[in-house]
Chains A and B, each alone.
Chain A
Amino acid sequence: MAGFRDDPVIQSVLQSLEGDRIAVAAAKRKSFIVMGAGAIIIALTVFLVSGLIWGYIAGGIVLIYGIVLNFKTAPAFNAYKNNFKLKVIGAALRDIDQSLLIEPDAGIKEREFIKTRLFDHTPDRYSSEDLVSGKADKTSFYFSEVDAEYKTEHTDNKGRKTETWHTIFKGILFVADFNKKFHGTTIVTARDLGGTVGSWIAKAAPIFFSSASKEVELENVDFNKTFITNSTDQIEARYILTPAMMDRLCELNSKCKNTISLSFIDSRVYIAFPLDENYFEPPLFKSILDPSCLERDIYIIGFMHGIVKELDLNTRIWGKE
């Protein structure tokens, strides 16, 4: 990976972006200082010269000016971010595989997110960005950052409504062409409390579940400790989740902080990686020339690209090219 950073073209791109970063950071800093000054004037008016209208007006004007300044940095900041993604992350991707491509403004569509059947709620607020697509040998794949939330409304006894937003999923959703053909749906989710209770209820009272999906009892003890598997076709689930595939999924999961979830639908595998961080964003108040600033992004790209190999998806001997 050192080769990627040492490339003279990338070096010159990084130098140029560093100039942009310094300019954007200075403008942002200035806007924050002005906004801070406005807030301080208002606070002083409240605590020291309570009721002085001119204090509020002066503080308000300064605060609004700071906000305007901050808004004015947006085009330069967005251009800096886009250039970073297209030129630096784009080059890092090509360094791993020439076919890899990033589209900062594209993402996985909400329709497809719902189709994965990995999540228990339909999103009320959904965003997805930084779509990376490409091929690892014979297997095409893509992944994108996704942030999906649903809301609940609560009305108190005085009739006041409060909205609460809950995260459905935040992280990276990875999609790859699976190396076997299948027609049913197989879902592998974390065997957390919800999963266990859900599974127990499903077993105990099938009458309440209209879905044709049933729990699949697999032989791998470690796999069963981590995951719960449901499928519309018991044999097909085992056709997909071979003993070797279960070992590979346990191995893949062991590299992740939070338990992954998978679904196998329409001859594709969907893998949801819950992650707290936002990836592929350039630093603003730290030098872009610092080698550590790209480490996290490069690791995640290599990790996602490596999944195809890790799950052995390039082995195409089952009649699917």
Chain B
Amino acid sequence: MIFAAIIIVIVLIVGISFYNGLIAKRNQVANAFSAIDAMLKKRYDLIPNLVETVKQYTNYEEGVLTKITSLRTKATSGQLNNEEKIDLDKQIGTAISGMMLTVENYPDLKANQNFLNLQSTWTESEEQIAAARRNYNSSVTTYNNAIMMFPGSIFAGMLNYQPFPVIEISAEERKNISAKDLFNS
């Protein structure tokens, strides 16, 4: 009788700890995504200034600048789900990277201190977001492993926990950022 009670208590303790562990891992994923979100917001704040400065010094395609501005407006609307946020961030990143490379043709802009500050802040935020994405992916992998492996899979089934997709990291992002590519210096 005592033996059975001990077994039940052990099973209960193990069960509760697995259950709590799963919830903690799921919360960690949400937490990791909110870190990305916060960094994206910080980065979006740079866009109006960046676009204005580029406008002043170059005849860079008006259409592209308008597109960047409208993407930013959409990104900061607060009505997007996580996947849409990541997708929009990719579009904004690509558009800004293209713009950054084109400024090579504008020596006046390249010499502008305000622009240089914005450019290095942008690059810094890119690197920070890349780090936050890797942190998110690490949390997702830990969570996915936990819900797919026994005995976590039992609780995951009961709680209807589904695996999260990891954020794909582009080949450009894996590659080291080169100062030469960015500043041609």
Contact = CB atoms under 8 A, between A and B. Distances in A.
B63 to A, nearest CB: 28
B2 to A, nearest CB: 28
Interface in A227-254: 234-239, 242-244
B124 interface: yes
- Overall SS of chain B's interface: helix
B177 A235 contact: no
Given A219-B134, A235-B128, A242-B127, A318 B120 contact: yes
B176 A317 contact: no
A244 B132 CA distance: 16
Nearest to B28: A234
Interface residues of A, number: 19
Interface residues of B, number: 24
B164 interface: no
B128 A317 contact: no
Given A242-B130, A318-B123, A319-B121, A235 B35 contact: yes
Contact of A239 (B120, B128, B137, B142): B128
Given A235-B128, A318-B124, A244 B176 contact: yes
Contact of B176 (A180, A217, A312, A319): A312
Contacts of A244: 175-176
B131 A239 contact: yes
Nearest to A318: B124
Interface string B129-157: 01110110110001000000000000000
B131 A317 contact: no
B93 to A, nearest CB: 16
Given A217-B142, A219-B134, A235-B135, A315 B128 contact: no
Interface of A: 180, 217-219, 234-239, 242-244, 312, 315-319
3 tightest Cβ-Cβ pairs between the two chains A and B: A244-B176, A238-B131, A239-B131
